[in-house]
Chains A and B, each alone.
Chain A
Amino acid sequence: MISDNIDVLVIGSGPAGMAAAIQAKESGSDHVFLVERAEELGGLLSQCIHNGFGLIYFNEDMTGPEYGQRFVEKVMDSKIEVLLETMVLRLTADRKVTLCNRNGVKTLSPKSIVLAMGCRERTRESIVIPGYRPAGIFTAGTAQRWVNIEGYLPGNEIVILGSGDVGMIMARRLTLEGARVKAVVEILPYIGGLIRNEVQCLYDFKIPVLLEHTVINVLGIQRVQGVTVARVDQNRNPISGTEKSIDCDTLLLSVGLIPENELSFMAGVNLGPITGGPLVNERMETNRPGIFAAGNCVHVNDLVDNVTLEGEKAGQNAAEHASGKAAPKMGIRLEAGENVRYVIPQMITGEREVTIRLRVKEPEKGVILKVGDIMTKTLKVVKPSEMLNLILSETHLNRMKKGTTQLVVSCQKKG
């Protein structure tokens, strides 16, 4: 029987959701609910069987399932109410949550909510690749589930479009399982994911990489028989005369991730145009009081460790809100300036230490990172694929002139 005296309800039990629920409980909330639509806790971690997780948070090199297991055990030990195979159908601005599972439909009114729905993959439709619609076109994440959980190989001769981390990891995985990866095709002039994946997933297996190329046609009627690729110009348009065909039976897409925010939208949560996720303040709270958000539904992270840290922050503040503690005023807006794609959080108090995260637009060497005129930091290199963490200490914040309402974060080339 679900009681309706809930302090914190967390939607989604991936790394962000589990961390939020555990932290809410540890911060003193008695009734914490963790809602998950799948049969098991952990979100996508179970299919991410590669290592590289936990280097920051646990100072260990772990696989996804191992990283997840640590949190699943904590959830189980901490008397959090877990609702599996439960879908959230509706969320309102005044925090009414409508759930559906095999016991029926029920509407609850928790004091705080944490949105932790994660993200989903962009598909062929979202990037509009022309050509036939044969079998054999998958997102990299779907292929990952097939290979690592279900035990199927999606094909034998593979072309991967996009060089994000999931795409590169699948290039290695499929190669190890006996498939032939004939090319990784990337529209940008540089690889989209982390350097360790570029080396250990592509170079290690001598997988051909076509930079500044894209797929302009899919061949085959019943099953993929090949793709046509072409070089692109500076505006990312295919250059006529550079087309060539690659025979393959499978096309995998690793062309970006989109934060999943249908529920946030329903509740009138303001979403950022760049991140596609809720705009949050330093408490990970949205414009709707008592609705917090964390992890990949806020912005797509490159490391799970940061997702966990965001989840913990959201969980702690959700517990504080549930206990009736007054929220501090968020008087300072953080704005993305030169060569900065976005900054998280968007609003801070300006009165206490805060960690901000940002992503640059373009790779650059020898840069000065500036936060208004209160902090500068020189960096040898910045890349869009590597999120930057900055701590604004009280010493920095004390440098703000009285009446400051905005700090521009910029990343300028030195000299």
Chain B
Amino acid sequence: MVKNLNEITCIICPLACCISVAVDDEGRLIEVANFQCKEGKEYAVAEYRAPMRVLTTTVIVGKSRHALVPVRTNRVILREKLFDCMQHLARIKVEPPLMVGDVIVRNILNTGSDIITTSELLD
């Protein structure tokens, strides 16, 4: 059994613990160390296994005095999917009127997350 150490910087609080997550060659958890709270330990393991992020970006707008409308994923997605989602959204064009929270893309790239607007676009 080989021990692989991974260092995760915790973002739960300003302490910013550098938490080490040790796993064996099959990715099974051996040990978590250098954390100061339960939330930090959970964060580090989750962050090691599958870092999740909110994507915030913009989508091109046609027939409007605005060039873009800001959007985000309505739940977190895998960090590794961020660029795929950007590529997908680069081909999307929307038109007014749009309200805050309108769905632009449903279940983008099967992430389970919708792309929604974060600003209204009336004209």
Contacts and interface: CB of A to CB of B under 8 A. Distances in A.
A binds B: yes
Interface of A: 46, 49-51, 61, 63, 65-66, 69, 147-151, 173, 176-177, 195-196, 198-200, 203-204, 380-383, 386
B61 to A, nearest CB: 9
Interface of B: 9, 11, 14-16, 36, 51, 53-58, 60, 66-68, 70, 72, 79, 82-83, 86, 100, 118-120
Contacts of A46: 119
Nearest to B10: A195
Contacts of A63: 56, 70, 72, 118
Given A69-B120, A148-B58, A386-B14, A203 B70 contact: no
A51 B14 contact: no
Given A177-B86, A195-B11, A380-B36, A149 B68 contact: yes
A65 B70 contact: yes
Given A195-B11, A204-B53, 10 more contacts: A49-B56, A50-B56, A63-B72, A66-B118, A66-B119, A173-B57, A176-B57, A176-B82, A198-B16, A381-B16
Contacts of A66: 100, 118-119
Contacts of B11: 195-196, 199-200
A380 B14 CA distance: 9
A42 to B, nearest CB: 9
Nearest to A176: B86
B37 to A, nearest CB: 10
Contacts of A173: 57
A69 B15 contact: no
A380 B37 CA distance: 12
A104 B86 CA distance: 46
Contacts of A65: 70, 100, 118-119
A33 to B, nearest CB: 24
A46 B120 CA distance: 11
**Interface residues of A: mostly helix, strand, loop or mixed?**
helix
Q: Can you list the 3 inter-chain pairs with the closest CB atoms, starting with the nearest?
A: A151-B67, A65-B119, A49-B70
Nearest to B68: A151
Given A148-B70, A195-B9, A49 B53 contact: no
Query: Which of B16, B54, B56, B67: most chain A CB closer than 10 A?
Result: B56
A191 to B, nearest CB: 10
Contacts of B9: 195, 198-199, 203
20 contacts: A49-B57, A61-B54, A63-B70, A65-B70, A66-B119, A69-B100, A148-B70, A149-B68, A176-B57, A176-B83, A177-B57, A195-B9, A198-B16, A200-B53, A203-B9, A204-B51, A380-B15, A381-B14, A381-B15, A382-B14
Query: Which of A173, A176, A198, A386: most chain B CB closer than 10 A?
Result: A176
A173 B57 CA distance: 8
Nearest to A62: B118
Contacts of B14: 195, 381-383, 386
Contacts of A49: 56-58, 70, 72, 118
A51 B36 CA distance: 26
A318 to B, nearest CB: 29
Nearest to A148: B58
A327 to B, nearest CB: 36
A168 B19 CA distance: 22
Contact of B67 (A150, A177, A382): A150
A174 to B, nearest CB: 12
Contacts of B57: 49, 173, 176-177
A49 to B, nearest CB: 4
Nearest to A152: B67
A262 B86 CA distance: 42
A51 B68 contact: no
Contacts of A50: 56
A208 B81 CA distance: 22
B122 to A, nearest CB: 11
A217 B36 CA distance: 43
B58 to A, nearest CB: 6
Nearest to B83: A176
